[in-house]
Structure 1
Amino acid sequence: MPTSGTGAVTRSTLRQQIADALRDEVLAGRLQAGQEFTVKEIADQYGVSATPVREALVDLSAQGLLEADQHRGFSVHEYSVEDYRGMIEARSLVTDGMFQALDSGHRGYRDLDDPRTAAAVSGVRRRGEEARRAASAGDVTVLIGYDLRFWRELSSLFGNPYLADFLHRLRVQTWVCTVQHLRALTDLRGRLWAGHGELVDALAQRDIETARTIVAEYNTHSLALIERLGRTDQPDRPA
Protein backbone atom coordinates (compact mmCIF):
# COMPACT_ATOMS: atom_id res chain seq x y z
CA MET A 1 0.00 0.00 0.00
CA PRO A 2 1.90 3.11 -1.18
CA THR A 3 2.20 5.96 1.30
CA SER A 4 4.76 8.22 -0.31
CA GLY A 5 6.24 9.30 -3.62
CA THR A 6 5.03 11.60 -6.36
CA GLY A 7 1.49 12.70 -5.61
CA ALA A 8 1.32 11.67 -1.96
CA VAL A 9 -1.69 9.58 -1.05
CA THR A 10 -4.12 11.54 1.11
CA ARG A 11 -5.51 10.00 4.26
CA SER A 12 -8.98 9.75 2.77
CA THR A 13 -7.60 8.00 -0.31
CA LEU A 14 -5.58 5.61 1.84
CA ARG A 15 -8.64 4.94 3.95
CA GLN A 16 -10.59 3.97 0.81
CA GLN A 17 -7.74 1.83 -0.53
CA ILE A 18 -7.55 -0.12 2.72
CA ALA A 19 -11.34 -0.51 2.87
CA ASP A 20 -11.39 -1.79 -0.73
CA ALA A 21 -8.53 -4.20 -0.10
CA LEU A 22 -10.14 -5.64 3.04
CA ARG A 23 -13.52 -5.91 1.33
CA ASP A 24 -11.84 -7.90 -1.44
CA GLU A 25 -10.21 -10.15 1.18
CA VAL A 26 -13.63 -10.85 2.68
CA LEU A 27 -15.22 -11.44 -0.73
CA ALA A 28 -12.43 -13.85 -1.65
CA GLY A 29 -12.92 -15.75 1.59
CA ARG A 30 -9.37 -15.08 2.77
CA LEU A 31 -10.83 -13.21 5.74
CA GLN A 32 -13.38 -15.73 6.97
CA ALA A 33 -16.57 -15.36 8.98
CA GLY A 34 -15.82 -14.73 12.64
CA GLN A 35 -12.10 -14.10 12.05
CA GLU A 36 -10.82 -11.47 14.49
CA PHE A 37 -8.10 -8.87 14.00
CA THR A 38 -6.97 -5.56 15.46
CA VAL A 39 -6.24 -2.18 13.95
CA LYS A 40 -2.55 -2.70 14.70
CA GLU A 41 -2.47 -6.05 12.87
CA ILE A 42 -3.97 -4.52 9.73
CA ALA A 43 -1.76 -1.43 9.97
CA ASP A 44 1.32 -3.65 10.23
CA GLN A 45 0.15 -5.81 7.34
CA TYR A 46 -0.19 -2.82 5.00
CA GLY A 47 2.66 -0.79 6.46
CA VAL A 48 0.55 2.27 7.27
CA SER A 49 -0.48 4.25 10.34
CA ALA A 50 -3.38 3.20 12.54
CA THR A 51 -5.68 6.15 11.76
CA PRO A 52 -6.69 5.37 8.16
CA VAL A 53 -6.95 1.67 9.07
CA ARG A 54 -9.31 2.41 11.93
CA GLU A 55 -11.40 4.64 9.67
CA ALA A 56 -11.52 1.94 6.96
CA LEU A 57 -12.60 -0.70 9.47
CA VAL A 58 -15.31 1.58 10.82
CA ASP A 59 -16.54 2.14 7.25
CA LEU A 60 -16.73 -1.62 6.62
CA SER A 61 -18.55 -2.08 9.91
CA ALA A 62 -21.12 0.51 8.83
CA GLN A 63 -21.59 -1.49 5.62
CA GLY A 64 -22.34 -4.62 7.64
CA LEU A 65 -19.21 -6.52 6.61
CA LEU A 66 -17.40 -6.32 9.96
CA GLU A 67 -18.34 -6.42 13.63
CA ALA A 68 -16.68 -3.94 15.99
CA ASP A 69 -15.82 -4.73 19.60
CA GLN A 70 -14.08 -2.06 21.65
CA HIS A 71 -12.15 -4.70 23.62
CA ARG A 72 -11.27 -7.30 20.96
CA GLY A 73 -11.07 -5.16 17.81
CA PHE A 74 -12.93 -6.26 14.69
CA SER A 75 -14.19 -9.48 13.19
CA VAL A 76 -15.78 -10.53 9.90
CA HIS A 77 -19.56 -10.53 10.19
CA GLU A 78 -21.07 -14.00 9.90
CA TYR A 79 -24.28 -14.04 7.85
CA SER A 80 -27.04 -16.57 8.38
CA VAL A 81 -29.39 -18.08 5.82
CA GLU A 82 -32.11 -15.85 7.29
CA ASP A 83 -29.90 -12.82 6.61
CA TYR A 84 -29.60 -13.99 3.01
CA ARG A 85 -33.38 -14.25 2.64
CA GLY A 86 -33.70 -10.66 3.82
CA MET A 87 -31.02 -9.47 1.40
CA ILE A 88 -32.71 -11.23 -1.52
CA GLU A 89 -36.05 -9.66 -0.61
CA ALA A 90 -34.51 -6.17 -0.38
CA ARG A 91 -32.62 -6.68 -3.62
CA SER A 92 -35.81 -7.80 -5.36
CA LEU A 93 -37.66 -4.69 -4.26
CA VAL A 94 -34.89 -2.48 -5.65
CA THR A 95 -34.63 -4.22 -9.03
CA ASP A 96 -38.41 -4.37 -9.37
CA GLY A 97 -38.53 -0.62 -8.81
CA MET A 98 -35.88 -0.14 -11.50
CA PHE A 99 -37.86 -2.22 -13.97
CA GLN A 100 -41.07 -0.39 -13.10
CA ALA A 101 -39.31 2.93 -13.81
CA LEU A 102 -38.34 1.62 -17.23
CA ASP A 103 -41.89 0.41 -17.88
CA SER A 104 -43.36 3.79 -16.95
CA GLY A 105 -40.86 5.79 -19.01
CA HIS A 106 -39.10 7.38 -16.03
CA ARG A 107 -37.31 10.53 -17.19
CA GLY A 108 -33.96 9.56 -15.64
CA TYR A 109 -33.68 6.25 -17.44
CA ARG A 110 -31.14 5.95 -20.26
CA ASP A 111 -32.80 3.83 -22.94
CA LEU A 112 -30.78 0.68 -23.58
CA ASP A 113 -31.63 0.70 -27.28
CA ASP A 114 -30.74 4.39 -27.73
CA PRO A 115 -27.65 4.76 -29.98
CA ARG A 116 -26.31 7.42 -27.60
CA THR A 117 -26.17 4.78 -24.86
CA ALA A 118 -24.48 2.17 -27.06
CA ALA A 119 -21.05 2.41 -25.41
CA ALA A 120 -22.48 2.02 -21.91
CA VAL A 121 -24.66 -0.91 -22.94
CA SER A 122 -21.72 -2.54 -24.70
CA GLY A 123 -19.74 -2.32 -21.46
CA VAL A 124 -22.58 -3.88 -19.48
CA ARG A 125 -22.80 -6.72 -22.00
CA ARG A 126 -19.04 -7.36 -21.75
CA ARG A 127 -19.21 -7.58 -17.96
CA GLY A 128 -22.13 -9.99 -18.31
CA GLU A 129 -20.25 -12.20 -20.76
CA GLU A 130 -17.18 -12.31 -18.52
CA ALA A 131 -19.42 -13.14 -15.57
CA ARG A 132 -20.96 -16.00 -17.56
CA ARG A 133 -17.54 -17.42 -18.39
CA ALA A 134 -16.40 -17.21 -14.79
CA ALA A 135 -19.61 -18.90 -13.59
CA SER A 136 -19.18 -21.71 -16.12
CA ALA A 137 -15.60 -22.20 -14.94
CA GLY A 138 -16.65 -22.13 -11.29
CA ASP A 139 -14.30 -19.21 -10.61
CA VAL A 140 -16.31 -17.39 -7.97
CA THR A 141 -13.70 -14.69 -7.27
CA VAL A 142 -13.64 -13.55 -10.89
CA LEU A 143 -17.42 -13.91 -11.10
CA ILE A 144 -17.94 -11.60 -8.14
CA GLY A 145 -15.81 -8.87 -9.68
CA TYR A 146 -17.62 -8.92 -13.00
CA ASP A 147 -21.04 -9.41 -11.45
CA LEU A 148 -20.62 -6.36 -9.20
CA ARG A 149 -19.46 -4.26 -12.17
CA PHE A 150 -22.32 -5.56 -14.31
CA TRP A 151 -25.00 -4.54 -11.83
CA ARG A 152 -23.26 -1.27 -10.96
CA GLU A 153 -23.13 -0.22 -14.62
CA LEU A 154 -26.60 -1.53 -15.39
CA SER A 155 -28.20 0.27 -12.44
CA SER A 156 -26.40 3.51 -13.37
CA LEU A 157 -28.45 3.55 -16.59
CA PHE A 158 -31.52 4.27 -14.49
CA GLY A 159 -30.23 7.76 -13.72
CA ASN A 160 -30.33 7.58 -9.91
CA PRO A 161 -26.90 7.29 -8.25
CA TYR A 162 -28.44 6.68 -4.82
CA LEU A 163 -30.28 3.66 -6.15
CA ALA A 164 -27.11 2.37 -7.82
CA ASP A 165 -25.09 2.79 -4.59
CA PHE A 166 -27.76 1.08 -2.50
CA LEU A 167 -28.03 -1.88 -4.85
CA HIS A 168 -24.24 -2.19 -4.98
CA ARG A 169 -24.04 -2.35 -1.19
CA LEU A 170 -26.75 -5.02 -1.10
CA ARG A 171 -24.97 -7.05 -3.73
CA VAL A 172 -21.65 -6.87 -1.85
CA GLN A 173 -23.40 -8.12 1.29
CA THR A 174 -25.11 -10.98 -0.53
CA TRP A 175 -21.83 -12.02 -2.12
CA VAL A 176 -20.07 -12.01 1.27
CA CYS A 177 -22.83 -14.24 2.63
CA THR A 178 -22.66 -16.46 -0.47
CA VAL A 179 -18.88 -16.89 -0.21
CA GLN A 180 -19.19 -17.87 3.44
CA HIS A 181 -21.53 -20.72 2.47
CA LEU A 182 -19.87 -21.72 -0.80
CA ARG A 183 -16.78 -22.81 1.13
CA ALA A 184 -18.66 -26.08 1.69
CA LEU A 185 -18.44 -26.90 -2.03
CA THR A 186 -15.38 -28.18 -3.84
CA ASP A 187 -16.57 -27.71 -7.43
CA LEU A 188 -18.66 -24.67 -8.42
CA ARG A 189 -18.83 -25.30 -12.17
CA GLY A 190 -22.42 -25.12 -13.37
CA ARG A 191 -23.76 -24.16 -9.96
CA LEU A 192 -23.65 -20.36 -10.27
CA TRP A 193 -26.18 -18.15 -12.06
CA ALA A 194 -25.04 -16.59 -15.32
CA GLY A 195 -28.09 -15.03 -16.98
CA HIS A 196 -26.61 -11.56 -17.30
CA GLY A 197 -26.82 -11.48 -21.10
CA GLU A 198 -30.44 -12.58 -21.19
CA LEU A 199 -31.32 -9.86 -18.69
CA VAL A 200 -29.70 -7.12 -20.78
CA ASP A 201 -31.51 -8.41 -23.89
CA ALA A 202 -34.87 -8.33 -22.12
CA LEU A 203 -34.33 -4.80 -20.81
CA ALA A 204 -33.12 -3.56 -24.18
CA GLN A 205 -36.35 -4.85 -25.69
CA ARG A 206 -38.35 -3.31 -22.82
CA ASP A 207 -39.65 -6.78 -22.03
CA ILE A 208 -40.17 -6.07 -18.35
CA GLU A 209 -42.00 -9.29 -17.55
CA THR A 210 -39.18 -11.40 -18.96
CA ALA A 211 -36.62 -9.31 -17.04
CA ARG A 212 -38.58 -9.85 -13.82
CA THR A 213 -38.82 -13.56 -14.52
CA ILE A 214 -35.06 -13.81 -15.11
CA VAL A 215 -34.28 -12.02 -11.84
CA ALA A 216 -36.89 -14.07 -9.94
CA GLU A 217 -35.35 -17.31 -11.25
CA TYR A 218 -31.91 -16.01 -10.28
CA ASN A 219 -33.06 -15.24 -6.75
CA THR A 220 -34.84 -18.59 -6.40
CA HIS A 221 -31.74 -20.45 -7.62
CA SER A 222 -29.39 -18.54 -5.30
CA LEU A 223 -31.63 -18.84 -2.25
CA ALA A 224 -32.16 -22.58 -2.78
CA LEU A 225 -28.39 -23.09 -3.01
CA ILE A 226 -27.65 -21.10 0.15
CA GLU A 227 -30.50 -22.77 2.07
CA ARG A 228 -29.18 -26.19 1.13
CA LEU A 229 -25.62 -25.28 2.07
CA GLY A 230 -26.93 -23.90 5.34
CA ARG A 231 -27.96 -27.42 6.29
CA THR A 232 -24.54 -28.66 7.28
CA ASP A 233 -25.70 -32.26 7.53
CA GLN A 234 -26.86 -32.25 3.90
CA PRO A 235 -24.60 -34.17 1.47
CA ASP A 236 -23.14 -32.25 -1.46
CA ARG A 237 -25.39 -32.57 -4.52
CA PRO A 238 -25.61 -30.53 -7.74
CA ALA A 239 -27.58 -27.28 -7.30
Structure 2
Amino acid sequence: MSGSGGNGVVTRSTLRQQIADALRDEVLAGRLQPGQEFTVKEIAEQYGVSATPVREALVDLSAQGLLEADQHRGFRVHEYSPADYRGMIEARGLVTDGMFHSLAASGMKQLSAPRAAAALAAVRRRGEEAQRAATAGELNILIGYDLRFWRELSGLFDNPYLTDFLHRLRVQTWVCTVQHLRQVDDLKGYLWSGHTELVDVLALRDHAAARAIVAEYNAHALALIERLAAE
Protein backbone atom coordinates (compact mmCIF):
# COMPACT_ATOMS: atom_id res chain seq x y z
CA MET A 1 0.00 0.00 0.00
CA SER A 2 1.32 3.43 -0.83
CA GLY A 3 1.96 6.14 1.76
CA SER A 4 -0.13 9.24 2.16
CA GLY A 5 0.44 12.72 3.42
CA GLY A 6 3.44 14.96 2.99
CA ASN A 7 5.64 13.05 5.45
CA GLY A 8 4.84 9.64 3.97
CA VAL A 9 3.29 8.37 7.19
CA VAL A 10 0.34 6.05 6.71
CA THR A 11 -2.04 6.00 9.67
CA ARG A 12 -4.03 2.92 10.62
CA SER A 13 -7.25 4.65 9.55
CA THR A 14 -5.67 5.48 6.17
CA LEU A 15 -4.60 1.87 5.70
CA ARG A 16 -8.05 0.71 6.71
CA GLN A 17 -9.63 2.85 4.01
CA GLN A 18 -7.05 1.95 1.37
CA ILE A 19 -7.52 -1.77 1.99
CA ALA A 20 -11.32 -1.44 1.98
CA ASP A 21 -11.19 0.50 -1.30
CA ALA A 22 -8.80 -2.00 -2.89
CA LEU A 23 -10.92 -5.00 -1.90
CA ARG A 24 -14.12 -3.29 -3.03
CA ASP A 25 -12.47 -2.69 -6.41
CA GLU A 26 -11.44 -6.36 -6.55
CA VAL A 27 -15.05 -7.38 -5.99
CA LEU A 28 -16.35 -4.90 -8.56
CA ALA A 29 -13.80 -6.10 -11.09
CA GLY A 30 -14.89 -9.69 -10.55
CA ARG A 31 -11.46 -10.80 -9.36
CA LEU A 32 -12.98 -11.75 -6.02
CA GLN A 33 -15.82 -14.08 -6.93
CA PRO A 34 -19.18 -14.56 -5.15
CA GLY A 35 -18.73 -17.01 -2.28
CA GLN A 36 -14.92 -16.78 -2.38
CA GLU A 37 -13.46 -17.12 1.11
CA PHE A 38 -10.35 -15.54 2.62
CA THR A 39 -8.90 -14.76 6.03
CA VAL A 40 -7.54 -11.62 7.66
CA LYS A 41 -4.08 -13.22 7.59
CA GLU A 42 -4.23 -13.86 3.84
CA ILE A 43 -5.20 -10.27 3.05
CA ALA A 44 -2.62 -8.88 5.48
CA GLU A 45 0.10 -10.93 3.78
CA GLN A 46 -1.13 -9.91 0.33
CA TYR A 47 -0.81 -6.21 1.15
CA GLY A 48 2.15 -6.49 3.49
CA VAL A 49 0.41 -4.87 6.46
CA SER A 50 -0.62 -5.83 9.97
CA ALA A 51 -3.83 -7.66 10.73
CA THR A 52 -5.60 -4.85 12.60
CA PRO A 53 -6.36 -2.44 9.70
CA VAL A 54 -7.23 -5.43 7.49
CA ARG A 55 -9.73 -6.74 10.03
CA GLU A 56 -11.24 -3.26 10.36
CA ALA A 57 -11.50 -2.90 6.56
CA LEU A 58 -13.20 -6.28 6.23
CA VAL A 59 -15.66 -5.40 8.98
CA ASP A 60 -16.42 -2.14 7.13
CA LEU A 61 -17.09 -4.03 3.89
CA SER A 62 -19.28 -6.50 5.75
CA ALA A 63 -21.31 -3.59 7.15
CA GLN A 64 -21.74 -2.35 3.58
CA GLY A 65 -23.12 -5.73 2.52
CA LEU A 66 -20.22 -6.69 0.23
CA LEU A 67 -18.75 -9.40 2.47
CA GLU A 68 -20.08 -11.93 4.94
CA ALA A 69 -18.25 -12.64 8.18
CA ASP A 70 -17.87 -16.18 9.46
CA GLN A 71 -16.58 -16.41 13.00
CA HIS A 72 -14.56 -19.53 12.29
CA ARG A 73 -13.65 -19.32 8.59
CA GLY A 74 -12.97 -15.65 7.98
CA PHE A 75 -14.85 -13.71 5.30
CA ARG A 76 -16.51 -14.46 2.00
CA VAL A 77 -17.78 -12.32 -0.88
CA HIS A 78 -21.53 -11.89 -0.57
CA GLU A 79 -23.55 -13.49 -3.35
CA TYR A 80 -26.62 -11.46 -4.32
CA SER A 81 -29.79 -12.98 -5.73
CA PRO A 82 -32.14 -11.38 -8.28
CA ALA A 83 -34.52 -10.78 -5.36
CA ASP A 84 -31.77 -8.81 -3.60
CA TYR A 85 -31.24 -6.83 -6.77
CA ARG A 86 -34.93 -6.04 -7.07
CA GLY A 87 -34.94 -4.70 -3.51
CA MET A 88 -31.90 -2.54 -4.20
CA ILE A 89 -33.45 -1.14 -7.37
CA GLU A 90 -36.68 -0.28 -5.56
CA ALA A 91 -34.79 1.47 -2.75
CA ARG A 92 -32.58 3.31 -5.21
CA GLY A 93 -35.61 4.46 -7.19
CA LEU A 94 -37.25 5.90 -4.09
CA VAL A 95 -34.11 7.88 -3.27
CA THR A 96 -33.59 9.27 -6.77
CA ASP A 97 -37.28 10.10 -7.16
CA GLY A 98 -37.09 12.20 -4.00
CA MET A 99 -33.96 13.92 -5.31
CA PHE A 100 -35.57 14.76 -8.63
CA HIS A 101 -38.76 15.99 -7.02
CA SER A 102 -36.73 18.29 -4.77
CA LEU A 103 -34.77 19.67 -7.69
CA ALA A 104 -37.88 20.28 -9.77
CA ALA A 105 -39.58 22.02 -6.86
CA SER A 106 -36.82 24.31 -5.67
CA GLY A 107 -33.68 23.79 -7.68
CA MET A 108 -30.30 23.88 -5.94
CA LYS A 109 -31.15 26.54 -3.40
CA GLN A 110 -27.68 26.60 -1.90
CA LEU A 111 -26.14 27.69 -5.22
CA SER A 112 -26.55 30.78 -7.34
CA ALA A 113 -27.92 30.26 -10.86
CA PRO A 114 -24.47 30.48 -12.54
CA ARG A 115 -22.92 28.12 -9.98
CA ALA A 116 -25.82 25.67 -10.30
CA ALA A 117 -25.41 25.63 -14.07
CA ALA A 118 -21.65 25.09 -13.73
CA ALA A 119 -22.20 22.26 -11.23
CA LEU A 120 -24.63 20.48 -13.54
CA ALA A 121 -22.23 20.97 -16.45
CA ALA A 122 -19.47 19.28 -14.44
CA VAL A 123 -21.76 16.35 -13.65
CA ARG A 124 -22.69 16.16 -17.32
CA ARG A 125 -19.02 15.86 -18.31
CA ARG A 126 -18.69 12.94 -15.93
CA GLY A 127 -21.79 11.46 -17.55
CA GLU A 128 -20.21 11.79 -20.99
CA GLU A 129 -17.27 9.66 -19.83
CA ALA A 130 -19.67 7.08 -18.40
CA GLN A 131 -21.63 6.99 -21.65
CA ARG A 132 -18.52 6.43 -23.73
CA ALA A 133 -17.52 3.51 -21.53
CA ALA A 134 -21.04 2.05 -21.63
CA THR A 135 -21.26 2.33 -25.41
CA ALA A 136 -17.88 0.63 -25.78
CA GLY A 137 -18.88 -2.13 -23.37
CA GLU A 138 -16.02 -1.26 -20.99
CA LEU A 139 -17.56 -2.39 -17.72
CA ASN A 140 -14.69 -1.60 -15.34
CA ILE A 141 -14.31 1.93 -16.69
CA LEU A 142 -18.07 2.47 -16.65
CA ILE A 143 -18.39 1.46 -13.01
CA GLY A 144 -15.83 4.04 -11.91
CA TYR A 145 -17.39 6.88 -13.87
CA ASP A 146 -20.94 5.85 -13.03
CA LEU A 147 -20.23 5.84 -9.28
CA ARG A 148 -18.60 9.26 -9.55
CA PHE A 149 -21.46 10.57 -11.69
CA TRP A 150 -24.11 9.63 -9.14
CA ARG A 151 -22.01 10.77 -6.19
CA GLU A 152 -21.49 14.17 -7.77
CA LEU A 153 -25.12 14.43 -8.86
CA SER A 154 -26.43 13.60 -5.40
CA GLY A 155 -23.81 15.92 -3.93
CA LEU A 156 -25.62 18.86 -5.57
CA PHE A 157 -28.34 18.50 -2.94
CA ASP A 158 -25.90 19.37 -0.14
CA ASN A 159 -26.94 16.43 2.04
CA PRO A 160 -24.03 14.10 2.85
CA TYR A 161 -26.35 11.45 4.33
CA LEU A 162 -28.24 11.25 1.04
CA THR A 163 -25.00 11.10 -0.95
CA ASP A 164 -23.49 8.34 1.19
CA PHE A 165 -26.69 6.28 1.23
CA LEU A 166 -27.13 6.41 -2.54
CA HIS A 167 -23.45 5.66 -3.12
CA ARG A 168 -23.68 2.56 -0.93
CA LEU A 169 -26.77 1.38 -2.80
CA ARG A 170 -25.08 1.90 -6.14
CA VAL A 171 -21.98 0.00 -5.06
CA GLN A 172 -24.15 -2.91 -3.92
CA THR A 173 -26.13 -2.96 -7.17
CA TRP A 174 -22.92 -2.87 -9.18
CA VAL A 175 -21.50 -5.79 -7.18
CA CYS A 176 -24.63 -7.78 -7.96
CA THR A 177 -24.57 -6.69 -11.60
CA VAL A 178 -20.92 -7.66 -12.02
CA GLN A 179 -21.59 -11.13 -10.64
CA HIS A 180 -23.92 -11.72 -13.58
CA LEU A 181 -22.49 -9.57 -16.39
CA ARG A 182 -19.10 -11.30 -16.24
CA GLN A 183 -20.67 -14.22 -18.10
CA VAL A 184 -21.37 -11.99 -21.13
CA ASP A 185 -18.50 -11.85 -23.63
CA ASP A 186 -19.45 -8.63 -25.42
CA LEU A 187 -21.22 -6.00 -23.32
CA LYS A 188 -21.90 -3.53 -26.11
CA GLY A 189 -25.61 -2.77 -26.06
CA TYR A 190 -26.09 -4.23 -22.57
CA LEU A 191 -25.06 -1.21 -20.49
CA TRP A 192 -27.15 1.86 -19.70
CA SER A 193 -25.85 5.06 -21.25
CA GLY A 194 -28.48 7.70 -20.44
CA HIS A 195 -26.35 9.81 -18.12
CA THR A 196 -26.29 13.02 -20.15
CA GLU A 197 -29.95 12.73 -21.09
CA LEU A 198 -30.75 12.59 -17.39
CA VAL A 199 -28.68 15.67 -16.60
CA ASP A 200 -30.29 17.58 -19.45
CA VAL A 201 -33.83 17.03 -18.18
CA LEU A 202 -32.75 17.82 -14.63
CA ALA A 203 -31.36 21.13 -15.87
CA LEU A 204 -34.90 21.85 -17.11
CA ARG A 205 -36.30 20.77 -13.70
CA ASP A 206 -38.39 18.17 -15.49
CA HIS A 207 -39.03 15.75 -12.65
CA ALA A 208 -41.37 13.54 -14.67
CA ALA A 209 -38.88 13.08 -17.50
CA ALA A 210 -36.02 12.34 -15.09
CA ARG A 211 -38.15 9.82 -13.26
CA ALA A 212 -39.12 8.14 -16.54
CA ILE A 213 -35.49 7.87 -17.65
CA VAL A 214 -34.42 6.22 -14.40
CA ALA A 215 -37.50 3.98 -14.32
CA GLU A 216 -36.66 2.70 -17.81
CA TYR A 217 -33.05 2.20 -16.75
CA ASN A 218 -34.07 0.25 -13.63
CA ALA A 219 -36.53 -1.93 -15.56
CA HIS A 220 -33.88 -2.71 -18.17
CA ALA A 221 -31.27 -3.58 -15.53
CA LEU A 222 -33.63 -5.76 -13.52
CA ALA A 223 -34.83 -7.69 -16.58
CA LEU A 224 -31.22 -8.23 -17.67
CA ILE A 225 -30.09 -9.57 -14.29
CA GLU A 226 -33.10 -11.86 -13.96
CA ARG A 227 -32.53 -13.23 -17.47
CA LEU A 228 -28.81 -13.82 -16.89
CA ALA A 229 -29.48 -15.45 -13.52
CA ALA A 230 -31.93 -17.85 -15.16
CA GLU A 231 -29.51 -18.93 -17.89
TM-score normalised by length of structure 2: 0.95
1:164 and 1:3 map into 2 onto residues whose CA distance is 28
Residues 1-239 of structure 1: matches in 2 within 5 Å?
A: 1-2=1-2, 6-105=7-106, 108=109, 110=111, 114-232=113-231
Q: Secondary structure of 2:69's partner? A: strand
Which stretches of structure 1, 4 residues or more, deviate above 6 A after TM superposition?
none
Deviation at 1:106, TM superposition (A): 6.5
The letter for the 2-side match of 1:84 is Y
The letter for the 1-side match of 2:188 is R
Deviation at 1:118, TM superposition (A): 3.8
Per-residue deviation, residues 126-154 of structure 1 (Å, max 9, x unmatched): 11011111011111000000000000000
Q: Secondary structure of 2:106's partner? A: coil
Q: % of aligned pairs identical? A: 77
The number of aligned residues is: 230
TM-score normalised by length of structure 1: 0.92
Q: Structure 1 residues 108, 55: CA separation in 2 closer, same or farther (over 3 Å shift)?
A: farther
The letter for the 1-side match of 2:150 is W
Q: Secondary structure of 2:68's partner? A: strand
- Alignment gaps of 5+ in structure 2: none
Contact preservation (8 Å) 1:18, 1:56: yes
The letter for the 1-side match of 2:85 is Y
2:109 and 2:161 map into 1 onto residues whose CA distance is 12
The letter for the 2-side match of 1:207 is D
Deviation at 1:203, TM superposition (A): 0.3
- Alignment gaps of 5+ in structure 1: 233-239
Contact preservation (8 Å) 2:177, 2:225: yes
Show the counterpart of 1:236. Answer: none
Range moving further from structure 2, 16-25 or 4-13: 4-13
Range moving further from structure 2, 184-193 or 194-203: 184-193
Deviation at 1:123, TM superposition (A): 2.1
